[in-house]
Copies of this chain bind each other. A is one copy, B any other.
Amino acid sequence: MLTDQYELTMLQAALRSGAAHRRCTFEVFARRLPQGRRFGVVAGTGRLLEGLETFRFRRNELDFLAERGIGDDDTLDFLSSYRFSGDISGYAEGEIYLPHSPVLQVSATFAEACLLETFVLSVLNHDSAVASAAARMVIAAGGAPESGGRPCVEMGSRRTHEFSATAAARAAGVVGFAATSNLEAGRSWGVPTLGTAAHAFTLLHDSEEDAFAAQVETFGPGTTLLVDTYDVEAAVRKAVEIAGSTLGAVRLDSGDLVAQAHEVRKLLDSLGNSATRIIVSSDLDEYAIAGLAAAPVDAYGVGTRLVTGSGAPTASMVYKLVQRQDSKGAEVPVEKASPNKASAGGKKQALRNLDADGRAAAEIISTDATPEHSGYSGRNLHVPLVVSGSVTPGTTGPEGVRAAAQRHRASVEELPAAAQRLSEGEPVIPTVFV
């Protein structure tokens, strides 16, 4: 039922006209990147494939539709036995995308493929928006921890819909965030989770000392103490007094983080706590993280700006019919001619063209089955995700997230240096239509 009603009305009318059984290819792409962004990141593919396996219309759903008069008997019959039996290929999860990159291709009868539109776009638009923003935060933090960057921790669950939150935590994991506060993301996709305390915990106790003592007694001195409920300097002194020299970390969640980080670092060092780390949070985005690069900070907690895509909460991807059978069974390209919303017909191939140094040079999009013949070569970006209704192993669950994280790292490393710039600019490589 996570579906727009028009998917069902189109199905009904197409069953009636007979066109429902024409074999079709739909493609997912974004006409443009969010304002000034250099690249986008495909994310959500694994979630999409997990959802596909349970995309069914059961008794409850069919009863609701019948009650509302949505769909005639033929339509409800079709829905009751619906299982996607077609093929899906697309960019591997974690891959970079650019304007017009055909990130997903769904090939099936119109009836089977049309029904998936809403769900496919919901997943890819949300998760790719978050991943695309989060990838810039990881760049600002100096890269993923494996590449020597400072760890970023996702903690935005409280600022977005409860299920968006788990998907956002997953998307952040794909692009190199080290952990999340969201427990469900840990359970469903194996994302490392963490969390210690909010200001409420300090306020609950009769004094800050009581709160710190309770936390250290429970979790040991390696815990992270939140030191900005009252006076930061006094709190750091108390924290060190209570936890000793092995205090794990202190967290700053308000005020001028750059100045405070310097002061707290100096204070910690002077107290003999040079191994105690400093974690900062408080409305961080890629720019604030970059602004903290020279400050003595060990990890970033990122919330609101991550889950809302740092100004671009949707990836604006669309799902367009590009090819279908005609009345004689031949597959023909189709495209609409609406002003500002034109799209190119025909099933596409996509290559990441590389220069002699192995750097990405262009996104080659072609309706030619073998763009190599047009003089272009490179990395074929389409991988099989579903073959005759069966999901490719390794693409879902924790395994899918791990593979996506690996793909993402490799794809970012392949990009020209301009990809690392946070300032507004053009897409990092051009999209070339062959």
Contacts and interface: CB of A to CB of B under 8 A. Distances in A.
Interface of A: 1-10, 12-14, 16-17, 19, 22, 24, 26, 51, 61, 64-65, 68, 70, 72, 110, 114, 117-119, 121-123, 125-127, 155, 157-167, 181-184, 186-187, 193-206, 210-211, 213-215, 217-219, 228-231, 253-256, 282, 304, 307-309, 313-314, 316, 319-321, 324, 326-327, 334-341
Q: Which of A51, A217, A326, A338 has the most CB of B within 10 A?
A: A338
A202 B324 CA distance: 12
A308 B314 contact: yes
Contacts of A304: 314, 316
A253 B342 CA distance: 12
A326 B125 CA distance: 48
A85 B129 CA distance: 39
Contact of A204 (B24, B118, B157, B338): B24
Given A68-B186, A255-B340, A338-B254, A126 B164 contact: yes
A130 to B, nearest CB: 9
Number of this chain's copies in the complex: 2
Contacts of A320: 199-200
Contact of A117 (B22, B121, B158): B158
Contact of A10 (B122, B158, B200, B206): B200
Contacts of A321: 199-200, 203-204
Contacts of A123: 161-162
Contact of A122 (B157, B193, B324): B157
A219 B10 contact: no
Contacts of A254: 338-341
A57 to B, nearest CB: 10
B339 A218 contact: no
A14 B316 CA distance: 45
Q: Which of A12, A159, A340 has the most CB of B within 10 A?
A: A159
A314 B164 CA distance: 12
A424 to B, nearest CB: 18
A338 B255 contact: yes
Contacts of A199: 320-321, 336, 338
A385 B336 CA distance: 51
Nearest to A210: B17
A98 B114 CA distance: 43
Give the dominant DSSP class at A's interface: helix
B183 A4 contact: yes
Given A187-B1, A308-B314, A201 B13 contact: yes
B1 A183 contact: yes
Given A13-B218, A335-B203, A121 B229 contact: no
A160 to B, nearest CB: 6
18 contacts: A1-B184, A2-B166, A2-B183, A5-B186, A7-B195, A9-B195, A9-B219, A13-B215, A13-B219, A16-B217, A64-B186, A72-B218, A118-B157, A118-B162, A121-B159, A122-B160, A254-B339, A254-B340
A10 B197 contact: yes
Contacts of A164: 126, 160-161, 163-164
Contacts of A24: 204
A195 B341 CA distance: 20
A126 B17 contact: no
A181 B4 contact: yes
B204 A6 contact: no
A187 B64 contact: yes
A290 to B, nearest CB: 21
Contacts of A229: 336-338
B341 A125 contact: no
A187 B205 CA distance: 45
Given A2-B162, A187-B64, A195-B8, A17 B338 contact: no
Contacts of A4: 155, 157-158, 181-183, 195
Given A2-B184, A10-B198, A16 B214 contact: yes
